[in-house]
Structure 1
Amino acid sequence: MGIDRSTFLFAADGTLARVWRKVRVPGHVEQVLAAARAIL
């Protein structure tokens, strides 16, 4: 047991665009930025 990290990305219209569950910090920022750029 430990910390379970999750990230939620919302589109400009307020809809849930992407969910990452049980993420690991290394490299995760790059994944989120790529997904955010893709929905812009």
Structure 2
Amino acid sequence: FKKAIEKTLQKVTLQESKKELDSLLTLKFQSFNNVIYSRA
């Protein structure tokens, strides 16, 4: 039972960190685009 809880926690943590990573990538991509547009 304890192992199941740990597994669920790991899954949630993985999903959360993936969300954070996605938003970080989106932010980076947006600022990258802004740089390109401001130079155009």
The bucket for the TM-score relative to the shorter chain is 0.3 to 0.5
From the two aligned structures, give the one with the greater strand fraction. Answer: 1
Query: TM-score under structure 1 normalisation?
Result: 0.36
From the two aligned structures, give the one with the greater helix fraction. Answer: 2
Query: TM-score under structure 2 normalisation?
Result: 0.36
Higher relative contact order (CA 8 A, sep 6+): 1
